[in-house]
Every structure is written in C-alpha cells, then in structure tokens.
Amino acid sequence: MLYLKRTDSDDPDFVALVKLLDADLAVRDGEEHAFYAQYNKIDKIKHVVLACEGEKALGCGAIKQYQPGAMEVKRMYVLPEGRNKGIASQVLSELEAWARELHFERCILETGKKQPEAIALYQKNGYQPIPNYGQYAEVENSVCFEKVLN
C-alpha cells in the first residue's frame, strides 16, 4: 500500500531518487543540463514528500520558498515502475497541502519542454502557464506554471 512521508532533503531515499532524476534529465537536456543543474541543488530543503510502498520509495517532490506567498515545486520524480499510477499527482497534492498549512498562497514551478510527461502532470493538476520567471526568464526550453492554492 502506498503512503506519503514528509521529510527533508537529508533523507537517503530522496537523495537516491534525485540522483536517478538527474541522470534522466542529463539525457533529456543534453548540452543544457549544466545550466539547469545549478538551480537544482537539494541541500537544505525542509519540505520533501516521498511516496513509499513498504520500504521502497517510488517517488518524490519538494517545495521551497521562492518569495513571500509562493512556494516553488522542485525535484518531482517517480521511478519507472511507479509511473502511470497517480503517484506523482499524490505527491504534488501533498506538497500543495503542506504549502497551504504553511500559509502560502500559490505554488510555482519550472519544467522543460523536453519533459512532456511533467507538463501533462501539472496541467492535469490545475497548473496554469505563466511567463518564465527568475533564472528561467530568457530560457527558450523552459516552461513555467502556477497554481493558486485555495
């Protein structure tokens, strides 16, 4: 049975999943990977959600404050054997609930045009496209989204 675990970026299961995520992104992003990687450090993230089945972590995601009122969704990943089972949506929903509990009004995120599964996930979960923000403002292969939390 799947359960969600709130933790932080020191969790060894999170670290292991992020290594797999980074390997996947290195292939997808190609020459642009180094640019994106500099913004995906995982040290000192206080809000991480793991999706676990028994002792095995199948997926993860994190949020960190981007600005007052806004949490940024980071490091979303599900192992191949856990995909197409709604795990990513469950992780995302838990991250949003956590952001609400912390009195944040919205979640924002950036993903790549070379990650159509991620784009579909966010759209399915009510995220709306927004202009690219911050370090992604002029990046052609980035797509940014926002969801207002009620």
Distance CA 93, CA 25 (A): 23
The half-sphere exposure of 116 on its side-chain side, counting CA atoms within 13 A, is 0
Q: Each residue of 67-121: pLDDT tens digit? A: 999 999 999 999 999 999 999 999 999 999 999 999 999 999 999 998 999 999 9
- Averaged pLDDT score across all residues of the chain: 93
The kind and range of the H/E element at 24 are helix 12-29
Q: What is the rounded (10 degree) CA torsion for 9, 149, 101, 6?
A: -30
Which one is the CATH code of 2-148: 3.40.630.30, 3.40.1110.10, 3.30.1330.10, 1.10.3860.10?
3.40.630.30
Give pLDDT, residue 30.
74
Q: What pTM did the predictor assign? A: 0.92
Is residue 25 within 8 Å of residue 17, measured between CB atoms? no
